[in-house]
Amino acid sequence: MFDKNAKKTKHEADKKSSLLKPAKYGKGETKTLSSTLSTTIGPSINIKGELSGGEDLIIQGSVEGTIKLLDNSVSVGEHGQIQADVFARNITVQGELSGDLHGTEKVTVTSSGRIKGNIIAPRVVLEDGASFKGSIDMENKPATSTISPTTDNTPSKAKIA
């Protein structure tokens, strides 16, 4: 009896741990499957119009128009090409985006991200190597940034004090 219970407990624990295992969605991006539902727009999909809904969205294809997922996250993958204004809680851009980004929590532009447009968010993270042209509208809340270490092949660096 004790052995049976022990087996069942182990099985449930395995199931739980596999659900919590992070899955790779793209370079440098992981997501815990059990935390939220998410939808992926694949690299061969082109969408024109307004996208709205109540789950997280990962875009590897192209979208033209407006994306409104006010309570969720939007991730633009490395191959994603977006010409749209995006409204979401968290927005991560690894690909190319032309438009305005309205993040109620945070907007992150990774090193491979290329953005032409405006960012309106309380927290903005711009990784080293990210390409951005536009404006960043920030209120008085702390932002963070990631600065990658310099390699030997990069141009010389100096501190100015």
Partner 1 sequence: MQGFSEEQKYRILDLGKASGATVAFFSKLRCKLFVGDVIPAILSYQKSLQDDEPPRLMLPDMIGLDDLSELDLVMCWDIINYLDTHLIEAFSDSLHQLMANGGYLHAFIYTHKEMPAKPGNYQILDASQMDVEYPVGSGIPAPGFAQRELGKLMRGFEIRQSRLLQSGLQEYLFHSL
Residue 132 in the binding site for partner 1 (CB under 8 A): yes
CB atoms within 10 A of CB 15: 10
Smallest gap from residue 116 Cβ to partner 1 (A) = 9
Using only C-alpha atoms, the chain has a radius of gyration, in whole angstroms, of 19
CA atoms within 13 A on the CB side of 82: 34
Residues 99-118 within binding reach of partner 1 (CB under 8 A): 118
Per rule CB under 8 A, count of chain residues that contact partner 1: 34
* Torsions phi, psi for 55 (to 5 deg): -145, 165
* Torsions phi, psi for 27 (to 5 deg): -60, 120
Smallest gap from residue 33 Cβ to partner 1 (A) = 29
**103/79 Cα distance (integer angstroms):** 21
Residue 138 in the binding site for partner 1 (CB under 8 A): yes
Smallest gap from residue 74 Cβ to partner 1 (A) = 20
Residue 83 in the binding site for partner 1 (CB under 8 A): no
In the list 2, 133, 149, 151, the residue contacting partner 1 (rule: CB under 8 A) is: 133
Residue 1 in the binding site for partner 1 (CB under 8 A): no
Nearest to 88 by CA among 150, 24, 134, 38: 38
Residues in contact with partner 1 by the rule CB under 8 A: 118, 123-128, 130-147, 150, 154-161
